Amino acid sequence: MGNIEVKAASVEPKTSVSFTLNGAPVDVQGVTPSITLNDWLRSQPGLTGTKKMCGEGGCGCCVVAVSLQSPVTQQETTFAINSCLCPLLSVEGWKITTVEGIGSSKAGFHPIQQRLAEYNGSQCGYCSPGFVMNMYSFLQQNPAPSAEQIADIFDGNICRCTGYRPILDAMTSFKAEKENGVIDIEEVQKKLCPRTGKACSNPRSTCTAPYLGPTRELVTPSAWYAPSSLADLFSIFSAHPESSVRLVAGDTGRGVFKNPPVADVYIDLKHIPDLYTSTLTEKSLLVGSAVPLSVLIGLLETNKNSSPSTFSQLAHHLSNIANLPVRNVGSWAGNLMLTHNYDFFPLRCLCSDGCCGSHSLYCHLVQYTVSVTVGFPHSGHEQIGDCVHGNSFCERRHCLS
């Protein structure tokens, strides 16, 4: 990456966001960093199907589907996220689908919703939209899943009343075995009108007025920046020498450490292509710091022959961290920084016997030959071996790869 040039601050703070919701363009003005996607969705008329319970990425009732061009693979990809952990300002350009966007009693239920009802997989129904949207997102990428793959994706969905057997039976009825045949995702996607039996293409209209709903804090003077290069990132640091700065990758850290102190400046890392690169050399993999854990798992599995003893094992360990919607946006660097920032990161305590029993990324990385590259304004970058406990990290240094 070479030396990182620091320019005069050229990036303006962001207070509006544009995205696509259930097929319709949305432009929201007057957004502050504390507003989550879930806050906004639930403040919109007719969009309360996306629920909120724990607010910390643990129950899955707030799951929605996100489609975007992966900055790592450049392919359009669809995945589930917890809307309760997702800052509204970070969804620029995303295509978001909520449970209302796939089916309803009026427009005709989606086959996943229908199957859940037929298998008695819903009682109070509070968890159902999350289960449905997690399954929907997964089927977009994996139209022919095995029963095991389906069971594995529900590590972040909790049901408090129905019991998991009927839910799992409903979901595994989508497995691609001979008796079911391979699912035609085009068919699954169709929203059939119960009256005409034909697909409905009428997207729900949404309110585009400035956001006036509740926020996490009543007053927040924070600024949100979305730089598109490392140079801009460091220029924002330079322009705010006295401010508290929080880098935002997946923002799932707030699910572990609730209500983190409000920062003066938030810097969204999602638009910096350098942080999403991945390069395979003879026996190593160089991965940008904003790469989500799910993508890292995929990269390790795809390239497992390059380092048979390491890559598959690490991928397996990583797949035990958190749950699928968290891994879909939570970056490996964010995970390390939580370990670095919080001495009492509870998950490290799981490491009872050196490393093996742990679900902590740090514990696994120290097992392998892993080094982290940290960027400094003006002076380029530096590789450090002990990626967390060295004193090389401080608030204003940035993990690159």
Ligand X SMILES: Cc1cc2nc3c(=O)[nH]c(=O)nc-3n(C[C@H](O)[C@H](O)[C@H](O)COP(=O)(O)OP(=O)(O)OC[C@H]3O[C@@H](n4cnc5c(N)ncnc54)[C@H](O)[C@@H]3O)c2cc1C
Residues that bind ligand FES (CB under 6 A): 52-55, 57-62, 82, 84, 122-128, 159-162
Nearest Cα residue to 170 out of 159, 108, 192, 104: 159
Tokens of 20: 């696509």
Taking the least distance from each CB to ligand FES, the nearer of 150 and 372 is 150
Gap between the Cα atoms of 352 and 194, Å rounded: 56
Gap between the Cα atoms of 270 and 115, Å rounded: 36
x-marked contacts with ligand X along 333-372 as a string, rule CB under 6 A: xxx-xx--x-----x-----------xxx-----------
Listed ranges 1-9, 128-136, 141-149, 328-336: which one lies at the site for ligand X (CB under 6 A): 328-336
| In the complex, minimum distance from the CB of residue 257 to ligand FES, in angstroms, rounded to a whole number | 15
Picked from ligand X, ligand FES, none, the partner binding residue 287 (CB below 5 to 8 A depending on kind) is none
Picked from ligand X, ligand FES, none, the partner binding residue 347 (CB below 5 to 8 A depending on kind) is ligand X
Taking the least distance from each CB to ligand FES, the nearer of 170 and 363 is 170
Taking the least distance from each CB to ligand FES, the nearer of 31 and 62 is 62
Nearest Cα residue to 185 out of 114, 110, 129, 121: 110
How many Å is the Cα radius of gyration of the chain? 21
Gap between the Cα atoms of 61 and 128, Å rounded: 7
Tokens of 275: 């942080």
Picked from ligand X, ligand FES, none, the partner binding residue 71 (CB below 5 to 8 A depending on kind) is none
| Beta partners for residue 49, in sequence order | none
Picked from ligand X, ligand FES, none, the partner binding residue 159 (CB below 5 to 8 A depending on kind) is ligand FES
- Segment (H or E) for 285: strand 285-287
Gap between the Cα atoms of 362 and 338, Å rounded: 10
Q: Which residue is nearest to ligand X (CB)?
A: 334
| In the complex, minimum distance from the CB of residue 255 to ligand X, in angstroms, rounded to a whole number | 3
| In the complex, minimum distance from the CB of residue 201 to ligand FES, in angstroms, rounded to a whole number | 30
Nearest Cα residue to 200 out of 105, 76, 66: 105
Q: Interaction with ligand X in 18-77: which residues (CB under 6 A)?
A: 56-58
Gap between the Cα atoms of 154 and 304, Å rounded: 25
Picked from ligand FES, ligand X, none, the partner binding residue 24 (CB below 5 to 8 A depending on kind) is none
- Helix (H), strand (E), coil (C) string for 287-332: ECCCCEHHHHHHHHHHCHHHCCCCHHHHHHHHCCCCCHHHHHHCEH
Picked from ligand X, ligand FES, none, the partner binding residue 360 (CB below 5 to 8 A depending on kind) is ligand X
Picked from ligand X, ligand FES, none, the partner binding residue 326 (CB below 5 to 8 A depending on kind) is ligand X
Picked from ligand FES, ligand X, none, the partner binding residue 54 (CB below 5 to 8 A depending on kind) is ligand FES
Q: What per-residue string of b and e applies to 70-100 under the rule 16 or more CB within 10 Å gives b?
A: ebbeeeebbbbbbbbbbbbbbbbebbbbbbb
What angle do the packed helices 128-141 and 164-172 form, to 10 degrees? 30
| In the complex, minimum distance from the CB of residue 329 to ligand X, in angstroms, rounded to a whole number | 6
Taking the least distance from each CB to ligand FES, the nearer of 52 and 317 is 52
Could you give the residue ranges of the DSSP H alpha helices within 201-310? 230-239, 253-256, 293-302
- Is 399 a binding residue for ligand X by CB under 6 A? The answer is yes
Which residues are within 8 A (CB) of 299 and not within 5 positions of it... i.e. 6 or more apart?
A: 72, 278, 285, 287, 291
Tokens of 379: 């002076």
x-marked contacts with ligand X along 263-302 as a string, rule CB under 6 A: --------------------------x---x---------
Taking the least distance from each CB to ligand FES, the nearer of 44 and 82 is 82
Taking the least distance from each CB to ligand X, the nearer of 31 and 84 is 84
Contacts to ligand X by CB under 6 A: 56-58, 246-253, 255-256, 289, 293, 321-322, 326, 330-331, 333-335, 337-338, 341, 347, 359-361, 398-399
